[in-house]
Amino acid sequence: MDEGRPIFQQIAERVENDILSGALVEEGQVPSTNEFAMFYRINPATAGKGVNLLVEQGILYKRRGIGMFVAAGARERITARRREQFVLEYVAPMLAEAASLGIAPGQLTQLIDTQLIESQLTEKETR
């Protein structure tokens, strides 16, 4: 767990990550609040808060007496929101760091292109 942020938010993010990676599938059941609490060694109320956050956002839904499930369309909703955050969390800091290192905007796009090609090449090799 990361020290700076409320744990319930981090739990919600981890569930989202699992949905994005396909570890949790839409309409599939997710672990219970107590199972989350045990697994991450956190207070069950905190785990419950994280799960409820996702229920409010329509990522998870509750089936009475059965448990918690991933909502249809959850993956798309998470992706859309994370794309908005991507600019704020990754692109903006990268631009700031590039500016402080004196990397010109032209050089920056070139660096990204080169990196993309390289990662595509290594992907082919590993296949």
Partner 1 sequence: MNTQTPVIQVDGLSRTYRDVAALKDVSFTLEPNIICGLLGRNGAGKTTLMRMLTGQDFPSAGSARVFGQDPVENSAVLQQMCFISESTRYPEGFQARHVLTGAPWFYANWDAAFADELVGKFRLPLKREVRKLSRGQQSALGVIVGLAGRAPVTIFDEPYLGLDAVARHTFYDTLLADYAEQPRTILLSTHLIDEVSNLLEHVLVLDEGRLLLDQSADSLRGSASAVAGRAGDVDSFAEGRQVLHRDTLGGLATVTISGRLTSADRVAAAAANLEIAPVSFQQLIVDLTTQSTPQPSLASVVYE
Binding site for partner 1 (CB under 8 A): 1-8, 34, 37-38, 40-46, 49, 96
The residue among 46 and 59 lying less far from partner 1, judged by its C-beta, is 46
The residue among 96 and 117 lying less far from partner 1, judged by its C-beta, is 96
Q: Shortest approach of partner 1 to residue 117 CB, angstroms?
A: 31
The residue among 48 and 82 lying less far from partner 1, judged by its C-beta, is 48
Q: Shortest approach of partner 1 to residue 80 CB, angstroms?
A: 21
15, 53 contact by CB (below 8 A): no
Q: Shortest approach of partner 1 to residue 98 CB, angstroms?
A: 13
**Degrees to nearest 5, angle at CA 69 with 65 and 73:** 145
25-to-14, 19, 21, 82, 108 alpha-carbon distances in Å: 14, 6, 9, 18, 37
Give the strands of the sheet with 60-63, arranged side by side. 29-30, 67-70, 60-63
Q: Shortest approach of partner 1 to residue 116 CB, angstroms?
A: 27
Q: Distance between CA 13 and CA 18 in Å, rounded?
A: 9
The residue among 99 and 117 lying less far from partner 1, judged by its C-beta, is 99
